[in-house]
Amino acid sequence: MNRKFLDRVEKLTSKYPKVIDLSLDRVNRLLSKLDNPHLKLPPVIHVAGTNGKGSTIAFLYNSLKCAGKKVHVYTSPHLIEVIERFIIANNQITYKELNSALNHCEKINEQEHITQFEILTCIAFLVMSKVEADVTLIETGLGGRLDATNVIKNPVLTILTSISLDHADFLGNNLSLIAKEKAGIIKKGITCISAPQSEEVKKVLINKCEKSKSKLIICNNGSFFSILKNGFIINGLGNEDYFFPIPSLEGKHQIINALLAATALILCSEFKVRIEDISNGIKNTYWPGRLEKINTGKIKKYIPNSTNIWLDGGHNIAGAEAIKNWILSKRIKSIILICGFLRNKDAKDILFILKKYIKYIICIPIDNKNSLSENELKNIASNLKIKSYSKSSLKEALKSDLILSNSKILIFGSLYLVGETMRLNTF
C-alpha cells in the first residue's frame, strides 16, 4: 500500500462530515455534474435490510464469479481500509484509482456540502460506469428511501434482508417505520425478494409492493424453503426444487442470506448462472467479521494454542439472537466475550440475550469517539449480574490471564471493533 495515496484519501474524505444526514439532493446534484454515471451501470441488484446485507452480496458476488461474470460491488462500511468498499469488474479498486476519482469529484462538487458516504457513493458510480461488467451489486448504507444509493432508478431486482430495530434515531423507533424506510428501495414493477420477516414488517412490504405493482417474494421457512442437515432446498421456484449446500459462513442466519442470493440468481435468468455455480459460490464465500474463526495471524501469538476464538460484528438485537442460535448449534456451554459497543447501540438488551451463555465479559473501549468506555460497559454487565472485567484495549484483553486454555472466546460488538481486531491480527 502506498502511504501517500492513503494520506491523500484521508485528507480528502476528512473534509466531508461523517455525520448521517439523510437526503438525496446532494447526491443527485453531484451526479448530475458528473453526467449521471449511476444511469450507465451494468444491471443492478440493490440490497437493503438491517442484518445480512454484506453476506448476501458476498454470496451473490462469489456465485457470479463462479459463473465467469465480471461484477461491480459497492458495500459499506469498510473494516480496515476504504478501498474494501469498491470492487470494479472483480478487482478491488487501487488507491491510485480512488485518489484520481476523489480529486475529480471534489473539483466537480465545488465545495458544496456533501457527506463522506455520499461522495464515496458518487465515486463508486463514476468508476463503475467507466468499466465494462455484467452485473452491479449495491448495498445501502443506512435505511433505503433516503440512502445515497437509492438514486438507482431501475434495478433488475431488489433484495431485503432481515429487518429489525437498529438506527432508531434516524429510521424510526418501531419496526413499521424502519421497514418503510428500508422498503424505499422497492421500485415500480421490479421484483423484491425478502428474507423471512415479522408480521409487522410483512404488512409494510406487502403494502409497498401493491402500491408499486411489484412482485414480492417472501422466503418463508417451510413453504418457500426447507433446511436439511447438509444444506437447504428452495421449494417450487419456477415449478422446480433446488438443493444447495450449507454455506461457508457460520450461523443458521447465513442460510437465509445464501437463500436470498440463490433465489435472486435463479430469477435473474438473463445472467445465465448455473445452479452448480451458485452452489460453488455459497460453499466458498468469505466475508470477514461474521462469526469468523481466527486460525492464523498475530492474535494467535497472544493466546493459548488450545483456545478457540471467533470474531463477529453483532451490534444489534437481531445480531445477538443470531449469536445465541450459533452458540446453541455449536453446543458451547459457556463463552468468554471480549466486547465493545458504541453509545447508540442497545448494549444492555444485546447482553441480556446472551447472558445465559456468558462465562464472563472482558469490557474494552473502541477506537471511536462515540464508544462506551470499558467501565461504562462493565457497569451495564454488572447490572445484568454478568461477571465482568475491564481492560483498556483489545491487545491488553487478549494478553491478560483472563484468556484461559481450552476456552471459547468471541470478540463481539461494533464493526469498528471488528476492524480493530483485523488490524491487530494483520499489522
Q: Convert the pLDDT of each residue in 219-275 to its tens digit.
A: 988 789 999 999 999 998 888 999 999 999 999 999 999 999 999 999 999 999 999
Q: In degrees rounded to 5, what are phi and psi of residue 363?
A: -90, 130
**pTM for this structure?**
0.93
CATH architecture group of domain 292-426: Alpha-Beta Complex (3.90)
Task: Write down the CATH number for the domain with range 3-283.
Answer: 3.40.1190.10
The answer to whether 60 and 45 are in contact (CB under 8 A) is yes
Residues of the chain with pLDDT under 70: 1-15, 17-21, 166-173
pLDDT at res. 369: 85
* Angle of CA points 87, 88, 89, to nearest 5°: 115
pLDDT at res. 1: 44
Phi-psi region for residue 68, left (φ > 0), alpha (ψ -120 to 50) or beta?
left
Bond prior to 77 in cis (omega within 30° of 0): yes
SS3 306: coil
Residue intervals of the chain classified under CATH 3.40.1190.10 are 3-283
Q: DSSP strand E in 62-147: where?
A: 71-74, 86-88, 91-92, 135-139
Residue intervals of the chain classified under CATH 3.90.190.20 are 292-426
Helix 317-330 to helix 347-354 angle, to the nearest 10 degrees? 20
Specify the DSSP class assigned to residue 319: H
Nearest alpha-carbon partner for 258 in 186, 164, 193, 175? 193
Residue 417 CA neighbour count, 13 Å, CB half? 29
pLDDT at res. 344: 81
Specify the DSSP class assigned to residue 250: -
pLDDT at res. 168: 54
The residue type of 315 is: H
- Looking up cell 443458521 gives 252
SS3 92: strand
